[in-house]
Structure 1
Amino acid sequence: MTRFTLTADRVATAETVWSPGFVTVEGSTVVALGQGSPGLDAGATEHVSGAILPGFVDQHVHGALGVDFGRATPEEARRVAHFHAATGSTRLVASIATAPLPALEQALSTLAPLVDDGTLAGLHLEGPYLSAVRRGAHDPALLRQPSVAELAALLEAGAGSVRQVTIAPELPGALDAVAWLVSQGVTVALGHSDADFDTARRAIDLGATVATHLFNGMRPLGHREPGLVGAVLDDERVLLELILDGHHVASPVASLVRRVAPGRLALVSDAMSATGLGDGEYAIAGSPVVVTEGVAMLADGSSLAGSTATVADALVRLGAAGVTLPEAVAATSAAAVRTLGLAEGLAEGLAAGSRADLVVVDDTLRARRVLRAGLWL
């Protein structure tokens, strides 16, 4: 197998920055990394300007290039995965939005083989067990109350590939569903919810560990009625997804989250099918969407409808706030890897034995080059 080494001004994990540093790759695997210069068995050596970070993990992404994961063929899904990988998101948890149950089962069975072969890191059901009050772009006619029997059928269709399910915990049957999903090893996310604080806390106590796109699709935070937002901000067990596309969350609020919940922020794209394309008419979760100047809105103008940005775009916005490299690594990969139980030695975001997924960023944290499984994209 081919062995080569990249040296850089900085190499970062979620806990350490080596300056200068190196990463040695053999085949598709990182075999060594650390401070200074590599050893004699480094192979061909190339210096890259800037910093080397682990490849990004996008745990909430619906599509790109006119393709929605909920309706994609395997070939289309591979195209979407390659598009996002080329921007730095080398691992995707494909999000499937609300749809009729047969359509959800079909999407899960279609995409499951792509999880098996490593194209995708897992599948995420965002619906149909959501609140009509906080539905966002999800068609209210397709929303349902949680059922363990239905969830069991969906997980069976996914053949072990479903890694995360978003649920509104206040719905009838929701807490039973949360407990059952956790018992099956599935990460439970709370979102598209009008839950009060106590209900959200009960769901967390039962094992829910993610907040789906914090602030969006949730009862607003109140100083007397903190709701779901207050519950997840206050609980160190919960990972907080954030869409930093300049529209979903204001920059001062993102800065507040960083201070209140260090190490628990996960940048997600929530990218919908218009990502990588121009303005126009699209659809998501059974609802028509109009994209204007890159902003996706329901056709009636009542709600944002996903994003057309990427995790790489979000990282640049985070970088403008002056984050450290370890914080950037935590927000783009390590926190998601830890919470979702992704394997391959990535607990810190980068380690010997992990797949050679690397992103070279400049001083503004803009992605300049991407290595996936040992190959430059």
Structure 2
Amino acid sequence: MDKGSREGLIVTPEASEGVWHGSVHWHGGRIVSISGREVSRAQAEALSATTPWLLPGFVDLHCHGGGGHDVMDGGEAAAHIARTHVRHGTTALLATTMTAPLPEIQAAFAPLGEQIAQRRPGSARWLGVHLEGPYINPERLGAQPDFAQVADLATVRALHAVAPIRVVTLAPEIEHHLALIPALVADGIRVQIGHSNGSYDDGVAALARGAHGFTHLFNAMSGLHHREPGMAGAALAHAQHAELIPDLLHVHPGALRVALRAIPHCYCVTDATSATGMPDGEYRLGRHRVLKCLGAVRLADGTLAGSALTLDQALRNLVVHLGLPLTEGVRRVATIAADYLDLPDRGRLAVGAHADLVVMNRDLQLQAVFAEGEEIELA
């Protein structure tokens, strides 16, 4: 765990075409050197028949659960979730809450501070919290329980003192929310527009006040029409950042292509639920009971309710189904999300970065995962 190295085709920003053939060396949980030579994409493709890919650990900024556990369960739930996702290549992530009465949100926050402060062996690193609810529009709940409320700065700051909030989702059209954005940004919190029935103008106004991006773009927001561009239109016309759920269920591949072309720094999230990594059956998402069947997670009425996606599958979807180059896919599941949180030592294989590595074969199947230098047992 303290010292190690791995040889392969290295996806690294140190190469102009993105790939080296060589070795990554680490000590004390940090990368200390990358040795080898740069290779072209054609050379890398030929070498990949016998040489593994070395990719940076994936970074997920929207994760509700996994392995049968939900962040809203509190207690040791987050520890189980982190162990589930690291076995799929996610080495850093945000604990994402659900809309609920405030006491339930406070109870979910209570154990997170300690788990964020210290990565547990065999687990991914919790980077903080994504407060997805309750500051959303009740007309755009999606799969969120019906406990939406108006945001209150004092409440957000009190929660932030218990466990660091890195991202908060809100609907800017709700009264007082626009005025709140600059204060949240000043507190170091990324404000995202989501679960919103707002207009194009509402979205533009929120971005002008400092909002950073959009939560699961296209889902649970007013859609794009050529005479009413809606919140999705504001994102496509003006955003620098937005989340996408690339499970090929939440967003049509054509719409994924539109977003990737229009928004420079789209990054992928799982919106994973407790059903992730589990067999078909009934699970919990906040206060809701949800059913996992044939890869989808839904409410009883058929509404998509989060996902069963993992970021290794997200990468395969981007590369195999959408045709993105592997180096581009890696940016979308790792580097951009890390940069979004101003974490230059995550989401990339570079000297000084955390030794978070994902080893994959030519078919992008996982072979090994290292989290801060520790090899994770995948079985």
Q: TM-score, normalised by structure 2?
A: 0.89
CA distance in 2, matches of 1:51, 1:331: 17
Structure 2 counterpart of 1:354: 353
Structure 1 counterpart of 2:30: 29
The structure-2 alpha-carbon separation of the partners of 1:132 and 1:199, relative to structure 1 and needing over 3 Å to count, comes to same
Alignment of 1:112-191 (within 5 A): 112-118=113-119, 119-140=125-146, 142-158=147-163, 161-191=164-194
Structure 2 counterpart of 1:55: 57
1:155 and 1:162 in contact (8 A); partners too:
yes
Q: Deviations over 1:12-52 (max 9, x none)?
A: 33974233132111131100115439xxxxxxxxxx82321
Q: 1:221 aligns with which of 220, 224, 227?
A: 224
1:11 and 1:21 in contact (8 A); partners too:
no
- For structure 1, the 5+ residue unaligned runs are 38-47
Q: Deviations over 1:150-184 (max 9, x none)?
A: 222322332xx111111011111111222211010
Structure 1 counterpart of 2:279: 278
| 2:260 counterpart letter in structure 1 | R
2:268 and 2:314 in contact (8 A); partners too:
yes
1:61 and 1:268 in contact (8 A); partners too:
yes
| 1:168 counterpart letter in structure 2 | A
Query: Which secondary structure does the structure 2 equivalent of 1:312 belong to?
Result: helix
Q: Aligned-residue CA RMSD in angstroms? A: 2.1
| 1:9 counterpart letter in structure 2 | L
CA distance in 2, matches of 1:132, 1:191: 12
CA distance in 2, matches of 1:354, 1:19: 17
| 2:162 counterpart letter in structure 1 | A
CA distance in 2, matches of 1:360, 1:166: 33
How far the C-alpha of 1:2 sits from its partner, in A, is: 5.0
The structure-2 alpha-carbon separation of the partners of 1:15 and 1:232, relative to structure 1 and needing over 3 Å to count, comes to farther
2:3 and 2:29 in contact (8 A); partners too:
no
Which deviates more, 28-37 or 169-178? 28-37
Query: Which secondary structure does the structure 1 equivalent of 2:155 belong to?
Result: helix
Query: Which secondary structure does the structure 1 equivalent of 2:90 belong to?
Result: coil
Query: Which secondary structure does the structure 2 equivalent of 1:123 belong to?
Result: strand
Query: Which secondary structure does the structure 2 equivalent of 1:172 belong to?
Result: coil
Query: Which secondary structure does the structure 2 equivalent of 1:19 belong to?
Result: strand
The structure-2 alpha-carbon separation of the partners of 1:109 and 1:325, relative to structure 1 and needing over 3 Å to count, comes to same
How far the C-alpha of 1:336 sits from its partner, in A, is: 0.9
Q: 2:255 aligns with which of 253, 256, 266?
A: 253
1:20 and 2:21 aligned: yes
Structure 1 counterpart of 2:212: 209
CA distance in 2, matches of 1:329, 1:292: 28
CA distance in 1, matches of 2:331, 2:191: 20
1:14 and 1:334 in contact (8 A); partners too:
no
Structure 2 counterpart of 1:70: 72
1:92 and 1:120 in contact (8 A); partners too:
yes
| 1:179 counterpart letter in structure 2 | P
Query: Which secondary structure does the structure 2 equivalent of 1:70 belong to?
Result: helix
| 1:206 counterpart letter in structure 2 | R
1:73 and 1:110 in contact (8 A); partners too:
yes
| 2:262 counterpart letter in structure 1 | V
CA distance in 2, matches of 1:200, 1:144: 19
How far the C-alpha of 1:286 sits from its partner, in A, is: 2.3
Query: Which secondary structure does the structure 2 equivalent of 1:97 belong to?
Result: coil
Structure 2 counterpart of 1:41: none
The structure-2 alpha-carbon separation of the partners of 1:285 and 1:258, relative to structure 1 and needing over 3 Å to count, comes to same
CA distance in 1, matches of 2:253, 2:222: 19
CA distance in 2, matches of 1:366, 1:19: 20
Structure 2 counterpart of 1:43: none
